[in-house]
Amino acid sequence: MALVTYVRHDGTRHEVDVPVGDTIMQGAINNMVDGIVAECGGGLACATCHCYVDEAWADKAGQPSATESEMLEAAASERKPTSRLSCQINVTDELNGIVVYLPETQF
């Protein structure tokens, strides 16, 4: 398990233990964290699981692939340097403690 902190746009924080191997998106959905819609279920076919990785964790979370980067262009909220699709961030032991911020809207 790895601790993931989801920070909603209003500042509400949700600390969740997510199994290693799951994605940041799965952790949010499985724990009913508002702010991640995941309309495509993690198929890299939408941008409704957009998140902003805390700058301190950005390098460990990695860079988006070309396909993910393309999908981020369709995100409803502003794209930032640490924008990622949470379905593309696999939880590892190295990400224990990661903090992600959720945008104001996914639509």
Q: Report CA dihedral (101, 31, 35, 41) to the nearest 10 degrees.
A: 110
Query: What domains lie within the chain, and their CATH numbers?
Result: 2-57+83-101 (3.10.20.30)
Contact 42, 49 (CB under 8 A): yes
Q: For 28-69, write each residue's pLDDT tens digit.
A: 999 999 999 999 999 999 999 999 999 999 999 999 999 999
Per-residue pLDDT band for 78 (boundaries 50, 70, 90) equals very high
Can you name the residues that pair with 101 across neighbouring β-strands?
A: 7, 52
With tokens 């969740």, the residue in question is: 16
Note the pLDDT tens digit of each residue in 5-35: 999 999 999 999 999 999 999 999 999 999 9
Q: What is the pLDDT of residue 37?
A: 96
| Mean of pLDDT values over 82-95 | 98
Partners of 75 in beta bridges: none
CB-facing half-sphere around the CA of 77: CA atoms within 13 A: 20
